[in-house]
Amino acid sequence: MRIGLVSTRLAGVDGVSFEVAKWELMLNRLGHETRLCAGELAPERMDQRLIPQMHFTHPPAQAVSAAAFDPGADPDEVRAQVQRLATELIPTIGSWLDDEGIELLIVENAWAIPMQIPLGVALASLVGERQLPTIGHHHDYAWERERFATCIVPDLLDEAFPPDLPTVRHVSINGVAAADLERRRGITSAAIIPNAYDFDVPPAERDDYSRSMRAELGMGSHNRLFVQPTRVVPRKGIELAIQLVSRLGDPHAHLMITSPAGDEGMEYMAQLHMVADRLGVHHGPKRIYALSDAYLEADMITFPSLYEGFGNALVESVYFGKPLLVNRYSVYETDIRPLGFRFIEIEGAITDEVVDEVNALLADPDLRAANATHNFELGRQHLSYEMLESRLRGLLS
């Protein structure tokens, strides 16, 4: 089939873009053609269409989507503005569907988190009117975010986040979300497809360029490097990673955050800088490195998230064989912890026991190697591309 993948953004280092690339690869392996359409795209590809009005930072869409959760805004004005912007998007997206001959549409998170409400409404209208076979791939829902708890136009969320349409099949990335979708919206039989990684291809080896990262950070090869491989948004709990590094008693240890701030403003980043400066924790290189370089050079991965849809960084840590400090967020408890991975776990705080456990693990190379082998095999069993391909084949059939 000719399959179209559509979202607000399909580029950069966010989890949705990472997972879309994996889905696209598996769909191509299964013999399908794929086309992309979004408000932000990687520039090097030709088989895609850029529609800037689809981005969640498009000023009119950003303003009305924020107003939808502002108790002081006028609901009627919000509805009218959403409908106007959706009406402008419908023919533009429809033209892409026609030009590319799209036979199946995959909506990537644009029907889940309401950061671009006009786009969600426009896509629901298009799919409903055309009765187009569609998969809604939902990474995080509105009810999973405190900032979306109070909506002055709940009818719009019921209409499109996500829409309950006869030609749409829904996919959640964890069991908790699938159960919530049924409980809150009455949408049953949502497929569950977790994040995946290519465990059939072994990780790359360290090289001179990756090794130069430590020199860039002003640290020697024997100093400890902690890597926080996430964007800078409050739900990542990065202040806990800073506290950990501060309490280890190693003045030469560094914490590196791999991905940028900005999706939810810069205030959190400023707060983290103040915490790091106060606690004497070093952070950040100047050269440009690949994410894989950071994993290869890391002594430990920190992942103290307060909430995750699943956890790309967790899967990547398993793949690269790195020790992982993880907060026991809800999806970790229900979908990941029962698999039997060996991680250092915290429950929202860095305790003396956690500090001792980290120091002991980093001082024991044999234990680290045994844990890495154990975790990799579990990853291959439960979170591999083979799993993803099998579930997509079943979904499409």
Give residue 281's pLDDT: 76
- Distance CA(383)–CA(15), nearest Å, equals 15
Q: Is 109 left (phi over 0), alpha (psi -120 to 50) or beta?
A: left
The owner of tokens 């419908």 is 90
- What percent of the chain has a predicted confidence (pLDDT) above 90? 75
Q: How far is CA 126 from CA 4, 118, 330, in A?
A: 13, 12, 35
Number of helical H runs and strand E runs in the chain? 15, 12
Tell me the pLDDT tens digit for each residue of 93-126. 999 999 999 999 999 999 999 999 999 999 999 9
- Structure-token pair, residue 30: 């299964």
Full-model pTM: 0.84
pLDDT in tens, 215-247: 888 787 788 999 999 888 888 999 999 999 999
Block means of pLDDT (10 residues each) for the chain, 397 residues, are 97 85 95 97 88 97 98 98 98 98 98 97 98 96 91 96 97 94 91 94 89 83 89 89 92 84 68 77 66 93 93 94 97 96 97 97 97 97 96 93
- Classify burial at 348, counting beta carbons within 10 Å of its beta carbon; exposed 0-12, middle 13-18, buried 19 or more: exposed
The rounded Cα 350 to chain-centroid distance in angstroms is 24
Task: Tell me the pLDDT tens digit for each residue of 320-366.
Answer: 999 999 999 999 999 999 999 999 999 999 999 999 999 999 999 99
Q: Is 112 helix (H, G, I), strand (E, B) or coil?
A: coil
Question: What are the structural domains, with CATH classification, of the chain?
Answer: 2-193 (3.40.50.11930), 208-382 (3.40.50.2000)
- In Å, how far from its chain's centre is CA 311? 7
- Nearest CA to 124 among 154, 167, 81? 167
What residues contact residue 226 under an 8 Å CB cut-off, 6+ apart?
241, 244, 245, 253, 254, 255, 256, 298, 299, 300, 301, 302
